[in-house]
Amino acid sequence: MISVHFPLDDQTGYAVGEDGTILKTTNGGTNWSGQSSATSNILRSVYFPGNTLTGYAVGDGGNILKTTYGGNWVEQNPEGEGQRVEVRLLAKPNPFSEQTLICYQLTLQGPVRLVVYNISGQVVRVLVKEAKKAGSYQAVWDGKNGFGQKVGSGVYFVRLDAGNYSETRKVVLIR
């Protein structure tokens, strides 16, 4: 699975992955069941904005799927005819020891947040918080928190939010 999200509580969650796979759990991840998907493309991110019961899955080729109340996932085109949202996020090198270059690409203009989280879900550092035009961008994370202090070795998550869409990547810091 590429992305997992628990929108309302720690029991009900969704996971997306290759071949349009969408899974749902109602018992904290002990058991997962398949959900119907309107695509066979890789799904990169799943998100329920504002912790609501309406969720989105974003995939390769600009596919956007929507569900309401965790039911069937149907293909959406929220930005108008012929426009699709793509968010691509990459961190390199990964693992890293001093700094990692975070590259991301946006196909539509809008507000962007690029945030590093620790394994507990706490914000370590906000790298980007501003409106961006469509295009390719880069940011460097130097392994420091928002106070300029070095953080310890471990697993961190870099999350890119662009409008109502998000993508998360795991990065490993080795000191």
Residues 68 and 98 in one domain: no
* Total number of domains constituting the chain: 2
pLDDT of residue 95: 94
Q: In terms of domains, do 154 and 97 share one?
A: yes
Are 156 and 106 in a shared domain?
A: yes
Taking only the tens place, the pLDDT of each residue in 71-106 is 677 776 544 433 344 556 788 999 999 999 998 888
The model's pLDDT over 120-170, given as tens digits with 9 standing for 90+, comes to: 899 999 999 998 887 888 999 999 999 999 999 999 999 998 876 778 889
Instruction: Assess whether 63 and 98 both reside in one domain.
Output: no
Q: 143 and 68 in one domain? A: no
* Co-location of 65 and 106 in the same domain: no
Whether residue 134 sits in one domain with residue 159: yes
pLDDT of 27 reads: 86
Residues 126 and 55 in one domain: no
**146 or 40, greater pLDDT:** 146
Which residues span the domain enclosing 43?
3-76
14, pLDDT greater than 90: no
Domain contains 35: yes
Flag whether pLDDT at 70 surpasses 50.
yes
pLDDT greater at residue 30 or residue 62: 30
pLDDT at 61: 63
Tokens of 31: 């058991």
Looking at the fold, whether 97 and 157 belong to one and the same domain comes out as yes
Cα–Cα dist 24/6, whole Å: 10
List of residues 6+ apart from 122 with CB closer than 8 A: none
Residues 107 and 68 occupy one common structural domain: no
Does position 36 have pLDDT exceeding 90, yes or no? no
Do 67 and 114 belong to one domain?
A: no
Q: Are residues 147 and 96 part of one domain?
A: yes
